[in-house]
Structure formats: structure tokens, C-alpha cells
Amino acid sequence: MISTNETTGPRLAQETGRPDGNHVPETGMKHAQAPTINLTSGLLLLALATVWGGSFFFVEIALTELPPLTIALHRVFWAVPALFLVVLVKRIKIPRSARAWGCYLVMGGLNNAIPFSLIFWGQTNISSGMASILNGTTAVFGAVVAGLLLVDEPLTARKIFGALFGILGVAVIMGFEALTNLDPRNLGQLAILGAALSYSFAGVWAKRFLSEYPPIMNAFGMLVGGTILLIPLAFYVDGVPSFALSLDVWASLLALALLSTAVAYLLYFEILVRAGSANLMLVTLLIPPIAVGLGYAFLNERLGSEAGYGFALIAVGLAITDGRLMKRILAK
């Protein structure tokens, strides 16, 4: 997930609240001083990376008994009442206009229904660790999408170079022979990249049409929209969901909905206030190691050396897109 820009990556994360890329705007948030990462915000950032990185692990377990679209429906469906309680407790006004809910419906498609379905289907062909690494391209590619579609976020040379490193990292992971030898593993990887692209468009949509609403309301409205879209789709493709599931699968579904979705949003907004949107983008680098570690420890997943090299290139692309690390290096 995730979710996730004066440099475009952080701003897209701020505007949409993702994730794995999961996404929303910083309405009314003011800082007396430039936000930094202290011990508390650092621990919260690690917690966010853990619940988002864990989503790939939970999906891998759920796939043993459920098809991808049904898992996507479970993820958004059970998260809706959890966030609704937060909306009520915080006394956030729920918009009543058709325009607002139409925007939430589109956002639910771009940021939930489409990417969740693609990621979960992709994981039927590739490992959870590989999926998390490819999902890390969201912030890099999001910079390009925003640069092309948003007037106030021009496509600079830095963003282009960052995207090129991200693309090179993907090419290393997939293998250059993938262009001539398409197999299910390649299709699974392409599905994850399609999800990352959908997240990128979600960031632009949120900035244009949802910036006037409170962040948590945007998260709640988006999940409602995603649920509305996924109910008929999952029922049509997978049939009526079965509730006769093992305890492990039920635990994974609830963890996916409550921890990796509802709790993740609450952590997201707390970090946004404490550390700022730019520092939030660091979660993109923390998610893959956690997902890979969980897959290694509990699912017996192993990744080749090309995955590590590819992740390193994607991380470099992310650093270039963000710009702060490059400025420090050049300043020395």
C-alpha cells in the first residue's frame, strides 16, 4: 500500500492517504516549526510500515481459501464501520452532496477497488515480498503522473531521473527477457505496476476534488466508494462469498481490514501532523523489507538477488524524486 508532493511523492501521500499505497489532504493542519522525525514519530512510522507491509503477508494467507476480488471486498467492507466510529467520535461532518459522494466513488475505484484487486491477483502469481517491492514504485511514478496532469507540480528533470531509476529497478526485477517471454509471473508483476499507476491517478484526483474535506472523512468516503464498487464485481466474478473459512483466514482478513486499512489511516494522519508529508514518504522504503521478512519467516518465500538490486534502484529513484538526500550530498 500504502497511499503515498512539493516533491510529488510526499504530496500525493498527503493528498490521498495511501500505501501501499492508501491516500487524503492535510486540511487545517498547521505547524509552528518545520516537522522532523523524532523518536515518537519514528516509532509511528515503523508501525505504519509494519501494518502496511503486513498487508501483503495477510493477503498471501487469505489467498489459500479465497479469490482476489473477494479478499479486496473484505478489506474495504470491514474497514468502513471502524472508520465510521472514528468519524462519529471526532464529530466530523459527513457531506451530503451528490458531487462529494461521486468523487468518493471515483476515489474508491482508483485507490481501493482497482489497485487492491490487481495486487491481490498479482500475488496469485508472485510472492508477497516481490509484490511489495514493485508496489514501492508508486511514489516515483506518481511524480510523473502529477507532473503531467497538475499545473502546480511541473515535471522536472529530477522527477524524470527518479522515474527512470524506478523503471530500471522494475526491469532488473522482471528480467529484460520478460519483453519476449511473457509468463504468469510477468503478468503478476505487471498487475502490481498497474496498481501503482492507479494509486498515482488517485493522488491527482484527491488533490483536485477532495482537498476541501477533512482527511479522515476522505478515507471513510473513499472506502465506502470502494465497497460499493467491489460488491457487485466480487459477486459477479467470484460468486456469493463463503463465510465457512478457517480461523487463520478470518484472522488475516480482519487484520487486513482493521490493521492494514483502518488503523493504518489513523497512524498515517498522526505521522502527518508530527513529521510532515515529506517524511511520510520514507514509509515506502520500509514496507518492502518488512513484507519480505514476513514472507521469509512464515511463508518460506525466497527472492533472488535481482529483487535486491531492483529494490536498490527503486530506492535511489525515490531518493532522487524526494530531493532532500540529493541536496544534502551536493551541499557537502
- The whole-number mean pLDDT for each consecutive block of 10 residues of the chain, a chain of 332 residues, reads 40 45 43 64 90 95 97 97 96 96 97 96 92 86 85 83 85 69 76 93 90 92 97 96 95 97 89 71 81 90 86 86 68 62
Q: Is residue 87 part of a domain?
A: yes
Determine the structural domain holding residue 226 and report its residue range.
8-22+35-331
- Other C-beta atoms closer than 10 Å to the C-beta of 151 total 5
pLDDT recorded at residue 4: 40
CA distance 244 to 175: 40
Confirm if 98 and 105 have CB atoms less than 8 A apart: no
Longest CA span, the chain:
61
Q: For residue 321, is it within any domain? A: yes
Looking at residue 207, its pLDDT comes to 87
158 within domain boundaries: yes
The number of distinct structural domains making up the chain is 1
pLDDT at 5: 36
Q: Angle between the 215-238 and 114-122 helix axes, to the nearest 10 degrees?
A: 60
Q: In the block, which residue shows the cell 531492483?
A: 310
Distances (CA, A) of 199 to 95, 149, 305: 24, 14, 27
29 assigned to some structural domain: no
Alpha carbon of residue 258 to chain centroid: 15
Query: What does the block give as the cell for 76?
Result: 474495504
* 27 in a structural domain: no
Residue whose C-alpha cell reads 527477457 in the numeric block: 177
In a domain, 2, yes or no: no
CB of 63 within 8 A of CB of 71? yes
**Residue 300: how many CB atoms within 10 A of its CB?**
8
User: Has residue 316 been placed in a domain?
Assistant: yes
In a domain, 28, yes or no: no
Output the pLDDT for position 141.
80
Q: What is the pLDDT of residue 278?
A: 59
CB atoms within 10 A of CB 152: 8
Q: Single out the residue of 255, 268, 295 nearest to residue 75, CA to CA.
A: 255
pLDDT on residue 29: 41
Asked if 249 and 9 count as a contact pair (C-beta separation under 8 A), the reply is: no
